[in-house]
Amino acid sequence: MKEELIQYKERTNTQIIVTALIVTVTFTVGFTMPGGYYESGDLNQGLVLLSKKRAFSAFMISDALALALSTISLFLYFISTTYEDPQLVSKLNGVSSGLTVVSVVAMMLTFITGTYAVLSHSPLVAITVCIICSTSFLFIIVFLIIKSRYDREKIEENAP
């Protein structure tokens, strides 16, 4: 039981680093606006140039989602380190891992929508970038899910 707890805590350390990086990136992206700001002397000085575009709204919503989920996940990882019960630690880590995965998806959506907002004046380039990012990301996720299930089945077959 003690070994199981140590194993969870070691895994948690790696997951905390990944989640903290997501929090950092999504926080920074929230202030680094695609397209920039209106220059000094303009009527809208300091406001975001692309703020009226739907793609920009989608960008901000997906970034806020990624930030919120990864921050909650980071907090749950932190809380899990204070418990000694392997079952509770396992549940907290499971929830945290799920939130981190969804925040990675939201982070990719943030990139896609931000890119589209900036490149909307050139629809062919914007759509091409969106297709490349979304299909490659989706392909990798599907591949990893299939591989993970295959690996689990293989382990179960070899178990006594």
Tens of pLDDT along 25-45?
989 887 777 766 667 776 666
Contact 92, 11 (CB under 8 A): no
pLDDT of 160 reads 64
Q: What is the pTM of this model?
A: 0.77
Query: How many CB atoms sit inside 10 A of residue 8's CB?
Result: 20
Cα-based torsion angle of the residue sequence 37, 56, 32, 25 in order, rounded to the nearest 10 degrees: 180
Query: At residue 64, does pLDDT exceed 90?
Result: yes
pLDDT of 6 reads 74
Query: How many CB atoms sit inside 10 A of residue 146's CB?
Result: 10
pLDDT of 51 reads 67
Query: At residue 48, does pLDDT exceed 70?
Result: no
Q: What is the DSSP letter of 38?
A: P
Query: How many CB atoms sit inside 10 A of residue 102's CB?
Result: 15
Q: Which amino acid is at 1?
A: M
How does pLDDT run across 67-99, given as a tens digit for each residue?
999 999 999 988 888 887 878 888 888 899 899
